[in-house]
Structure 1
Amino acid sequence: MPQSTPKAAVLLEAAVKYLESELMPTLEGYHRFQTRVTVNVLNTVRRELELREAQAEAERSRLVAMLGHDGEVEALSVELAERIRAGTIAIDDPKLRAHVRQSLADALAINNPKWLTR
């Protein structure tokens, strides 16, 4: 699929800048709150566009290393869960713990990166 110019992340950043710098100072109450929610949504979408592809590939690589074969992320994740339930991968396995920790950090990097600095 052809990419738009400027890129989607740049367009989202421009929309956020307008909402925060120009529109929000003119608003109060409900509309100011709803604009803040919209800014948060746009920032989340921007971060997902910027980060998700690399995160998905890193997740797939971690899963392949743990499970010993290639596949799609979703199928590998289901298999990992099945192996944990069956007891063939221990819940305290260091590779599993590192995978879960990194997966959570990746999700937070998109959804609320402020939580990563706490």
Structure 2
Amino acid sequence: MPEPHARPATGPHDIPSAPELVAAVRTFLERDVVPAAEGRVRFHARVAANVLSMVERELRHGGPDAEAHAVRLAALGAADDADLARAIREGRLNDGDPELVRLLRESVRDKLRVANPAYLGES
């Protein structure tokens, strides 16, 4: 059964999709390489599998997260993260601003959902 984030087989690329390919390599590492390896190779295979899990999550969430982040920045009058940082440094925004706090919390939540959802109680 295809992954929920897999795209249909329509031009110009056929199946498997990039998310499906990444999932296949991650599964191979987790099921075949890690159990058969020892020491340094086992450690690096686990790291590689974790990296691929992050790539899968970024493929799934990256676009919507970027769009939501741009909307949040625009609501604060910032063009991008550098502009937001400048506004904070210059005192145009401060840590007492509830919209700023909300933006920062949502941004960190989005980052953690990709980097390590276990920190959010998700998997």
What TM-score, normalized by structure 2, do the two folds share?
0.82
Map residues 52-67 of structure 1 onto 2, 5 A cutoff: 52-67=62-77
Q: Counterparts of 2:76 and 2:13 in 1: how far apart (Å)?
A: 35
Moved more, 2-11 or 83-92: 2-11
Q: Counterparts of 1:63 and 1:17 in 2: how far apart (Å)?
A: 37
2:46 alignment counterpart: 36
Gaps of 5+ in 2: 1-10
Matched residue of 2:80: which SS? helix
1:76 positional shift: 2.4
1:16 positional shift: 1.1
Gaps of 5+ in 1: 70-74
- C-alpha change, 1:52 and 1:89, in structure 2 (3 Å) is same
How many residues align? The count is 112
1:21 alignment counterpart: 31
Map residues 1-118 of structure 1 onto 2, 5 A cutoff: 2-67=12-77, 75-117=79-121
- C-alpha change, 1:19 and 1:77, in structure 2 (3 Å) is same
Q: What is the aligned-residue identity percentage? A: 38
Matched residue of 1:63: which SS? helix
1:101 positional shift: 0.5
RMSD: 1.9
- C-alpha change, 1:104 and 1:10, in structure 2 (3 Å) is same
Q: For 1:26-56, what per-residue CA distance to the aligned partner results, in whole angstroms no more than 9, with x for missing partners? A: 1111111110011011111111111111100
- C-alpha change, 1:16 and 1:30, in structure 2 (3 Å) is same
What code does the residue aligned with 1:8 have? A
Structure 1 or 2: more helix by fraction? 1
Q: Counterparts of 2:13 and 2:64 in 1: how far apart (Å)?
A: 17
Which structure has more relative contact order (CA 8 Å, sep 6+)? It is 1
